[in-house]
Structure 1
Amino acid sequence: MNEEQSGSDDQPVVVDQTDKRSVVPFVAAVVIAIVVLIGIVAGGLLSPAEKNVTEADRLAAAVTNYIDARSRSDLRPPPGVACPGFSEETSGLGEQLGGPNSTVTIDGKGFENATVNVDRAKIDAALVVNGNPVPSSWKLTRVDSAWLVCSF
């Protein structure tokens, strides 16, 4: 099984190190990366995401903010999401939301029928109150470019 190999181990291995390497592919990759980054920045400046948001999206966000703040606060209404002087009870919203200690979430059906009239708006929301689906109608007012839950 041990056979003697003659000649092949005695020959020196010649390594050719004369090939020249180029930095051209690396420079090209850097240039392409810079062009892509410039394109991304220019796209963000020319078409910011805020401009793609509709009024219906802003109304839905205001209602979502109210419901989220309501779940984290014992105050009715929660601070910063409703007009000054707003009351859940006198607006009828307290009854729709199942009282002050209810659990309220937004149903997967979301929002529909958004109507805007200058600085006043209405939107219908599909809610889940204490595990039961409840349709509700929300009235909002624009205050300092932000939509707040109000009764009018």
Structure 2
Amino acid sequence: MTEQRPDPEGDEAIVVDQTDKRTMVPFIAAAIFAAIVLVAIVAGGLLSPAEKNVTEADRIAAAARNYAQARANSDLMPPPGAACASFDESKSPLAAQFGTAATGKSIEVIEIENPTVNGDRAKATVTTKVDGREATATWNFTRSGDKWLVCD
């Protein structure tokens, strides 16, 4: 056992006050900051949606791919929603590759180059592959509302 010896100098014991006053202020401030950041992210997404970042070249490429997919999957001439209503299938950019019977054939758009826009009309050089045969042709497009359609 240890004995306590009397303090030879007679100093008093130092009292340490351990009653810290803690507040919630830092936690509340962090929560408010996180909420402000979250609101800013949501507002940024609403005010500047990704659709506005799509270029005309992207829209033309999408129109070419939509036409090829619709042409492969539909017997309707022209494919609805992919080509102009007055579109002549015999003048189709794919007509030379598959004639009139394209339904069920594999049509793949390989490359779309040099899209040029002139008002509501556009052109692009499109390379396609139909049943393993590649061909390149100039496709014409017309703007209909906010999207492009393949036209002759």
State the TM-score, normalized to the length of structure 1: 0.71
SS of 2:82's equivalent in the other structure is: coil
State the one-letter code of the partner of 1:71. Answer: A
* AA at the equivalent of 1:116: V
AA matched with 2:81: G
Rate the CA distance shift 1:22–1:121 in 2: closer, same or farther, 3 A: same
- 1:103 correspondence with 2:111: no
Q: Please name the residue that 1:129 is paired with.
A: 130
SS at match of 1:76: coil
Task: Determine the structure 1 residue equivalent to 2:11.
Answer: none
Provide closer, same or farther for how the CA distance between residues 146 and 19 of structure 1 changes in structure 2, counting only shifts above 3 A: same
- Pairs within 5 Å for 1:1-150: 27-28=28-29, 30-96=31-97, 98-99=98-99, 100-101=101-102, 102-107=105-110, 110-150=111-151
Taking structure 1 as reference, are residues 33 and 70 closer, same or farther at Cα in structure 2, changes over 3 Å only? farther
Deviations 1:93-137 (A, max 9, x none): 3114x2323320122xx3111011111110112222112222232
8 A Cα contact 2:64 2:109, kept in partner:
no
Structure 2: tracts of 5 or more residues without a match: 1-18
User: 2 CA distance for matches of 1:89 and 1:136?
Assistant: 14
The size of the alignment, in residue pairs, is 131
How far did residue 148 of structure 1 move?
0.9
Task: Summarize the Cα distance change of 1:31–1:116 in structure 2 as closer, same or farther, 3 Å threshold.
Answer: same
> RMSD between aligned alpha carbons?
2.5
Write the deviation string for residues 51-109 of structure 1: whole angstroms up to 9, x where unpaired.
2111111111111111122222122321121111212213453114x2323320122xx
Please list every run of 5 or more consecutive structure 1 residues that lacks an aligned counterpart in the other structure.
1-17
CA–CA distance in structure 1, aligned partners of residues 133 and 94 of structure 2: 16
TM-score by length of 2: 0.71
Separation in 2, partners of 1:55, 1:125: 15
User: Matched residues in 2 for 1:25 and 1:126: separation?
Assistant: 61
**Structure-2 change in CA distance of 1:19 and 1:128 (3 Å):** farther
